[in-house]
């Protein structure tokens, strides 16, 4: 495969005295799907939030599509334009309609004319299968629909990398599938994805690599088959035995 | 009937719809269920009815039944002439109405006040009706063009220069004060203990001042040339138009996309030129009416509208400043807010009116009304800042993060995502402050400005209308006026709240 699109090297982060991320090294190739899992508090969310500079870090370097993001977060805007993010709690803008949610960033960040932005937005809303809800407000939709809008909103910026921060954890069990299906579609189209999730079924089906984190460090990384069939580290074995029943 | 004890049941005959019992619906049902449904409620209903009886009936008697409606002086409103115990004395209001609206504004010039009121209404009403188009232009006219026009209409007077002269004048003033400060330090250095230090700093400041002087010299020279020419206003206007249009053109994207910006800024200047010509500002304008002649409802409206319009931006800026991560801005905002909130409005007004002139440089005077306006705007701004901060605090952190993740800058995140939501949350609080500001304008009467209430009290001393009910009539009238404005604001805010919070209804 080609050069890495995301390259994390020697990443260290502290919250005050607390060492949350320790010597993280990770390379993501273009089109690769990576699932990051681990117990809560292991630093998975913090790690992917560092990639688009929602968190600052003290040591190390992150390079996204050739744009270097050091501890002083210089090229922060350039990086954020290339990286889309989907949050656990959707974070749609409640005062704007679904369509306005999806056109806001193209219009105000990329300076695209309103009409073109709306066309693109509708295209992506169709892809996540909710074009007919475009004029509703987020509060009028179910959680699953909101999360699909959030995915469409991130896609309207044509990101090269998509980050998913536990996208299904806040959903009713019935709605998890519709969101995961959307993500599977996206993966099949060749999007580079970093997904923090506890959905091991999704990891098995879609991921090229599963990364297991604990206490702020990467414990084990492997292809899903190897990872689930023969985990090497004792901590990984314990984790898997607790979540797979 | 079904056997309800049996575990299996199949319905064969459907039950037809029947009207509800009379005693649960309609007026009777409402009375029974809402007014007389329990002993406590019966008692409350009776008490409420009594309360209405004892307040509404006397008010109606005073204001309408026992009122005198016509007459030329106090004799019409005396019980011995009217033949009954007189309530409100409306002819008194009728006779004093001009004073209550205009104060001592010269009678020949009162059309200017009326024109201002009409202009305000013409611009304000379309802005308040959501269905009408061109909100941006409308708001621009109301918030930027109207205040200037209103100033020249109400106050009168003309202009001697335009943008270039004003810029030159400001820079000159700024430069003079720098050199002045340097000279003061140099003087101090002759007597002080730290003389050498002061001497060095003083000389440095004078040097900087002189440097600035040489930098702005071309501008001042141009200004003097323009002022020397016969048509100073129009020459200056043309130069300013050219400069601003060019700047707009290049900021708008130059040859590629700048034409729109160029056209709109040029249109703005044409409009300004028309206004200048219409009002004759280039040769003196309308006769000057000093603000100490203004009064009545005019002053109340000028003070309250200016206060409302300026306090909100001040409040927003301070609220954002208070949440800033930059310590200097945060400390300044906190100090500002706490200072103005900690001081009574009366003190602010006294300070603005009687103390401020002592602090300003000798030849620099600010009109009394303007001083009160600034005081009220800053005072209300501090309160609005805390209201807005409440709204900002209610916005989840995720909103800002989502906007940042999409690549929006801090300014865009704040103005497109955070503020629109925050302000919607606090509409009731904001309007609360507006209403209380509207009523607090009556305090300006203690600094010798005659607002509606001040003019009213002044009119009590007229012996021609001195009757037992004059004061009651006057206060009732003022109360009704205040109520109409405040109630109007209150209802409109409910409407706006309902409209803007469409997203919170399912």
Judge whether B401 is closer than 8 Å to chain A, CB to CB: yes
The predicted pLDDT at position B406 comes to 92
B391-428: per-residue pLDDT in tens? 999 999 999 999 999 989 899 999 999 999 999 999 99
Judge whether B506 is closer than 8 Å to chain A, CB to CB: yes
Of B398, B405, B420, the CB nearest to A52: B405
Shortest Cα distance from A241 to chain B (angstroms)?
33
Which strands form A83-86's sheet, in the order they lie side by side? A83-86, A161-165, A192-196, A33-37, A209-214, A217-222
Interchain contact, A83 vs B402, CB within 8 Å: no
Mean pLDDT of the A50-65 span: 89
Domain boundaries in chain A? 4-244
Distance, in Å, from the CA atom of B323 to the CA atom of B392, rounded to the nearest integer, reads 9
Interchain contact, A140 vs B405, CB within 8 Å: no
A26: enclosing H helix or E strand: strand A18-29
Work out the mean pLDDT of chain B and round it to a whole number: 86
Residues in chain A with CB shorter than 8 Å from the CB of B420 are 95
Mutate to test the interface with B, among A54, A56, A87, A93 (most CBs of B within 10 A): A93
Of A77, A95, A154, the CB nearest to B421: A95
Residues in chain A with CB shorter than 8 Å from the CB of B407 are 77, 80-81, 105, 109, 157
Mean pLDDT of the B342-355 span: 86
Interchain contact, B405 vs A80, CB within 8 Å: yes
Helix locations, chain A, DSSP H: 44-51, 76-82, 98-109, 114-127, 143-155, 173-188, 200-206, 224-229, 234-243
| Shortest CA distance from B500: residue in chain A | A95
Segment 107-126 of chain A within 8 Å of chain B by CB:
108-109
Judge whether B327 is closer than 8 Å to chain A, CB to CB: no
Distance, in Å, from the CA atom of B305 to the CA atom of B312, rounded to the nearest integer, reads 11
Domain boundaries in chain B? 26-65, 109-141, 163-283
The predicted pLDDT at position A119 comes to 93
Interchain contact, B503 vs A77, CB within 8 Å: no
A153-199: per-residue pLDDT in tens? 999 999 999 999 999 988 888 888 889 999 999 999 989 999 999 88
Structure tokens at B99: 């004073």
**Residue B206 CB contacts under 8 Å (≥ 6 apart), including other chains:** B179, B182, B183, B186
Dihedral angle computed from the Cα positions of residues B445, B449, B454 and B457, in that order, rounded to the nearest 10 degrees: 100
The predicted pLDDT at position B279 comes to 79
Cβ atoms of residues B308 and B374 within 8 Å: no
Judge whether B417 is closer than 8 Å to chain A, CB to CB: yes
Poorest-confidence range of B24-28, B191-195, B236-240?
A: B191-195
Number of H helices, E strands in chain A: 9, 10
User: First and final CA of chain B: distance in angstroms?
Assistant: 41
| Shortest CA distance from B423: residue in chain A | A95
The predicted pLDDT at position B387 comes to 94
Q: Is the pLDDT of residue B1 over 60?
A: no
Cβ atoms of residues A173 and A138 within 8 Å: no
The predicted pLDDT at position A13 comes to 92
The predicted pLDDT at position A1 comes to 47
Mean pLDDT of the B67-72 span: 86
Judge whether A140 is closer than 8 Å to chain B, CB to CB: yes
Judge whether A83 is closer than 8 Å to chain B, CB to CB: yes
Distance, in Å, from the CA atom of B128 to the CA atom of A216, rounded to the nearest integer, reads 55
Mean pLDDT of the B156-165 span: 77
Judge whether B398 is closer than 8 Å to chain A, CB to CB: yes
**Residue A132 CB contacts under 8 Å (≥ 6 apart), including other chains:** none
Mean pLDDT of the A135-153 span: 91
Residue A74 CA, chain-centre distance (Å), reads 22
The predicted pLDDT at position A2 comes to 60
Interchain contact, B402 vs A104, CB within 8 Å: no
Judge whether B504 is closer than 8 Å to chain A, CB to CB: yes
Residues in chain A with CB shorter than 8 Å from the CB of B402 are 85, 87, 91-93, 150
Interchain contact, B405 vs A84, CB within 8 Å: yes
Interchain contact, A109 vs B408, CB within 8 Å: yes
Question: Locate tokens 């959903």: which residue?
Answer: A171
Report DSSP state, residue B360.
S
The predicted pLDDT at position B393 comes to 94
Judge whether B424 is closer than 8 Å to chain A, CB to CB: yes
Mean pLDDT of the B239-267 span: 79
The predicted pLDDT at position A151 comes to 93
| Shortest CA distance from B422: residue in chain A | A95
Fold of A4-244: Rossmann fold (3.40.50)
Interchain contact, A94 vs B504, CB within 8 Å: yes
Of A95, A108, A139, the CB nearest to B506: A139
| Shortest CA distance from A163: residue in chain B | B405
A186-234: per-residue pLDDT in tens? 999 989 999 999 888 889 888 999 999 998 999 999 999 989 888 888 9
Grouping H, G, I as helix, E, B as strand and the rest as coil, residue B138 is helix
Cβ atoms of residues A150 and B405 within 8 Å: no
The predicted pLDDT at position B506 comes to 53
Give the helix, strand, coil percentages of chain B, each rounded to 5: 75, 0, 20
Distance, in Å, from the CA atom of B466 to the CA atom of B460, rounded to the nearest integer, reads 7
Distance, in Å, from the CA atom of B352 to the CA atom of B170, rounded to the nearest integer, reads 23
| Shortest CA distance from A83: residue in chain B | B405
Mean pLDDT of the A52-67 span: 88
Phi, psi of B360 (to 5 degrees): -80, 155
Cβ atoms of residues B346 and B443 within 8 Å: yes
Report DSSP state, residue A57.
-
Q: Is the pLDDT of residue B177 over 60?
A: yes
Q: Is the pLDDT of residue B2 over 70?
A: no
Residues in chain B with CB shorter than 8 Å from the CB of A75 are none
Poorest-confidence range of B119-123, B212-216, B345-349?
A: B212-216
Distance, in Å, from the CA atom of A94 to the CA atom of A137, rounded to the nearest integer, reads 7
Model confidence band, residue A245 (pLDDT cutoffs 50, 70, 90): low
Shortest Cα distance from B414 to chain A (angstroms)?
12
* β-bridge mates for residue A189, sequence order: none
Grouping H, G, I as helix, E, B as strand and the rest as coil, residue A165 is strand
Of B396, B405, B420, the CB nearest to A54: B405
A91-135: per-residue pLDDT in tens? 999 999 999 999 999 999 988 889 999 999 999 999 888 889 899
The predicted pLDDT at position B221 comes to 80
3-state secondary structure B279-320: HCHHHCCECCCCHHHEEHHHHHHHHHHHHHHHHHHHHHHHHH
The predicted pLDDT at position B401 comes to 93
Judge whether A184 is closer than 8 Å to chain B, CB to CB: no
Count Cβ atoms below 10 Å from residue B198 Cβ, excluding itself. 19
């Amino acid at each position: 495969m080609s050069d890495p699109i995301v390259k994390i090297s020697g990443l260290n982060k502290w919250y005050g005295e607390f060492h949350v991320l320790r010597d993280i090294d990770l390379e993501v190739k273009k089109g690769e799907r990576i699932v990051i899992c681990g117990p809560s508090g292991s630093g998975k969310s913090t790690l992917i939030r560092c990639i688009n500079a929602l968190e600052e870090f003290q040591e190390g370097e992150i390079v996204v599509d050739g744009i270097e993001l050091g501890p002083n977060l210089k090229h922060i805007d350039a990086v954020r334009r290339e990286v889309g993010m989907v949050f656990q709690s959707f974070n749609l803008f409640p005062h704007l309609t679904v369509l306005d949610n999806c056109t806001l960033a193209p219009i105000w960040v990329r300076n695209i004319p309103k009409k073109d932005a709306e066309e693109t937005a509708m295209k992506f809303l169709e892809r996540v299968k909710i074009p007919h809800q475009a004029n509703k407000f987020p509060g009028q939709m179910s959680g699953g629909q909101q999360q699909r809008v959030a995915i469409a909103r991130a896609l309207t910026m044509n990101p090269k990398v998509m980050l998913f921060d536990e996208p299904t954890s806040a959903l009713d069990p019935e709605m998890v599938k519709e969101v995961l299906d959307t993500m599977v579609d996206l993966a099949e189209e060749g999007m580079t994805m970093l997904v923090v999730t506890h959905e091991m079924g999704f990891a098995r089906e879609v991921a090229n690599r599963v990364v297991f984190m604990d206490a702020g460090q990467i414990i084990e990384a492997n292809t899903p088959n190897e990872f689930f069939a023969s985990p090497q580290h004792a901590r990984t074995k314990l984790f898997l035995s607790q979540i797979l029943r | 009937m079904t056997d309800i004890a049996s575990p299996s049941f199949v319905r064969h005959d459907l039950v037809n719809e029947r009207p509800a019992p009379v005693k649960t619906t309609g007026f009777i049902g409402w009375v029974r269920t809402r007014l007389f449904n329990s002993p406590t409620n019966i008692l409350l209903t009776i008490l409420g009815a009594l309360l209405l009886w004892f307040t509404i009936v006397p008010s109606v008697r005073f204001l309408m039944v026992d009122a005198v409606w016509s007459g030329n002086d106090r004799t019409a409103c005396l019980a011995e002439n009217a033949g009954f115990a007189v309530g409100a004395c409306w002819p008194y209001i009728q006779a004093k109405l001009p004073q209550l609206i205009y104060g001592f504004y010269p009678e020949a010039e009162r059309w200017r006040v009326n024109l201002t009121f009409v202009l305000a209404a013409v611009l304000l009403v379309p802005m308040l009706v959501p269905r009408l188009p061109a909100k941006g232009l409308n708001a621009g006219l109301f918030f930027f063009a109207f205040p200037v026009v209103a100033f020249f209409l109400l106050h009168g007077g003309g202009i001697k220069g335009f943008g270039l002269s004003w810029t030159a004048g400001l820079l000159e003033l700024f430069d003079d004060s720098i050199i002045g400060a340097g000279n003061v330090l140099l003087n101090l250095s002759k007597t002080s203990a730290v003389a050498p230090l002061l001497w060095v700093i003083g000389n440095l400041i004078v040097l900087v001042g002189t440097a600035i002087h040489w930098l702005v010299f071309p501008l001042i020279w141009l200004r003097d040339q323009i002022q020397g020419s016969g048509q100073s206003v129009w020459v200056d206007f043309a130069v300013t138009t050219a400069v601003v249009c060019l700047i707009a053109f290049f900021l708008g994207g130059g040859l590629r996309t700048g034409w729109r910006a160029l056209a709109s800024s040029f249109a703005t200047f044409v409009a300004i030129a028309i206004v200048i010509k219409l009002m004759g500002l280039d040769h003196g304008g309308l006769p000057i009416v000093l603000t100490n002649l203004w009064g009545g409802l005019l002053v109340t409206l000028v003070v309250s509208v200016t206060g409302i319009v300026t306090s909100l931006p001040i409040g927003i800026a301070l609220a954002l400043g208070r949440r800033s991560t930059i310590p200097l801005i945060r400390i300044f905002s906190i100090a500002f807010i706490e200072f103005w909130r900690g001081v009574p409005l009366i003190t602010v007004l006294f300070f603005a009116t009687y103390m401020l002139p002592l602090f300003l440089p000798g030849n620099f005077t600010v009109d009394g009304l303007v001083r009160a306006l600034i005081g009220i705007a800053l005072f209300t701004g501090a309160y609005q800042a805390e209201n807005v901060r409440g709204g900002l605090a209610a916005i989840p952190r995720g909103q800002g993060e989502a906007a940042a993740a999409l690549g929006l800058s801090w300014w865009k995140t704040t103005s497109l995502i955070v503020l629109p939501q925050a302000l919607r949350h606090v509409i009731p609080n904001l309007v609360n402050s507006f209403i209380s500001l509207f009523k607090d304008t009556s305090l300006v009467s203690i600094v010798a400005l005659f607002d509606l209430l001040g003019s009213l009290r002044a009119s009590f001393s007229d012996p021609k209308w001195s009757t037992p009910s004059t004061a009651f009539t006057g206060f009732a009238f003022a109360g009704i006026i205040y109520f109409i404005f405040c109630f109007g604001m209150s209802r409109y805010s409910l409407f706006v709240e309902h409209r803007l919070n469409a997203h919170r209804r399912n």
